[in-house]
C-alpha cells in the first residue's frame, strides 16, 4: 500500500489517499479539501495516477475532516462512510464553520454507509480493519492495515499526544481507555498516520506519550 498525504484547509488537516499498488484501487481517508485549489489538487492526483476510487472513509465527522466529501461525491460518485454515532455532527457542520470563521458554502454530503468495529474495507489486494475508538467524538474510528503495518488514527492519537475531548461528544476517560485497550496493543513497528501533524509509531507512543 502506498499512501499520499495532503494537508488541507485552515486547520491543517491531513487527508490521505491509500493506494493498492497492484490494482490502482484507492480510498480517501478524511477528505478535508476546502478551497477550489485544494479540491483540484486532490482530483488531479487521482486522475493523473489513473487511480480508481472505491471508498471515502471518515475517521470522524468534525468539519475539518469532511469539508471535501461533497466535492468528492460530485467528482467521483463515491459517498462517505463513517460511524453512525457521528452522523449528527453533519447537521451542525455549517454552524461550526461559521463559529470558527471558516467560509464553507458547499453542500453537506450525507453518509453513504455506516462503519462498525471490525468491519473490513477492501480495495484491490489491500484492506483496512475498522476499530471504534470513541472519546474524541462518539463515533471516532481508526483504520488499521496489519499487512502494511499502518494505522490511520484520525484525531484520536497524535505524536506524543491524544485528541482533544472538550468538544461535543468528547470523553477523556473513554478516549484514553480505548487507546490503551485497542490501539496500544498493536505491533510496535506500526506507523501511525494522524489527522494532524507528523507520523509516529506505536512503540514511540508507548515510550513517550504522557497520556498513555
Give pLDDT tens digits for 166-195.
Answer: 988 899 999 999 999 999 999 999 999 999
Give the domain ranges of the chain: 2-208
Give pLDDT tens digits for 147-162.
Answer: 999 999 999 999 999 9
Is the confidence at residue 19, as pLDDT, over 90? yes
Give pLDDT tens digits for 106-156.
Answer: 999 999 999 999 999 999 999 999 999 999 999 999 999 999 999 999 999
pLDDT, mean over the chain: 97
User: Please, what CATH class does the domain formed by 2-208 belong to?
Assistant: alpha beta
Give the DSSP per-residue string, the chain: -EEEEEEETTTTEEEEEEE-TTT-EEEEES----SHHHHHHHHHHHHHTT-EEEEEE-S---GGGTTTHHHHHHHH---EEE-GGGGGGGGGHHHHHHHTT----S--PPPSEE--TT-EEEETTEEEEEEE-TTSSTT-EEEEETTTTEEEEETTEETTEE----STT--HHHHHHHIIIIITTS-TT-EEEESSS--EEHHHHHHH-TT-
- Give me the pLDDT at residue 168, please: 83
Amino acid at each position: 500500500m502506498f499512501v499520499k498525504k495532503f494537508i488541507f484547509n485552515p486547520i491543517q488537516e491531513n487527508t490521505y489517499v491509500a493506494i493498492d499498488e497492484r490494482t490502482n484501487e484507492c480510498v480517501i481517508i478524511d477528505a478535508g479539501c476546502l478551497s477550489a485549489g485544494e479540491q483540484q489538487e486532490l482530483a488531479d492526483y487521482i486522475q493523473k495516477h489513473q487511480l480508481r476510487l472505491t471508498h471515502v472513509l471518515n475517521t470522524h465527522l468534525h468539519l475539518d475532516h469532511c469539508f471535501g466529501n461533497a466535492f468528492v461525491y460530485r467528482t467521483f460518485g463515491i459517498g462517505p462512510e463513517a460511524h453512525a454515532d457521528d452522523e449528527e455532527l453533519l447537521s451542525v457542520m455549517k454552524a461550526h464553520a461559521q463559529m470558527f470563521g471558516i467560509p464553507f458554502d458547499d453542500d453537506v454530503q450525507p453518509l453513504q454507509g455506516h462503519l462498525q468495529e471490525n468491519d473490513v474495507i477492501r480495495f484491490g489486494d489491500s484492506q483496512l480493519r475498522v476499530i471504534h475508538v470513541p472519546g474524541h467524538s462518539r463515533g471516532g474510528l481508526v483504520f488499521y492495515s496489519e499487512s502494511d503495518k499502518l494505522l490511520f488514527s484520525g484525531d484520536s492519537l497524535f505524536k506524543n499526544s491524544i485528541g482533544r475531548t472538550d468538544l461535543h461528544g468528547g470523553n477523556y476517560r473513554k478516549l484514553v481507555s480505548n487507546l490503551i485497550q485497542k490501539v496500544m496493543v498493536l505491533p510496535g513497528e506500526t506507523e501511525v498516520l494522524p489527522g494532524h501533524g507528523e507520523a509516529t509509531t506505536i512503540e514511540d507512543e508507548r515510550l513517550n506519550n504522557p497520556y498513555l
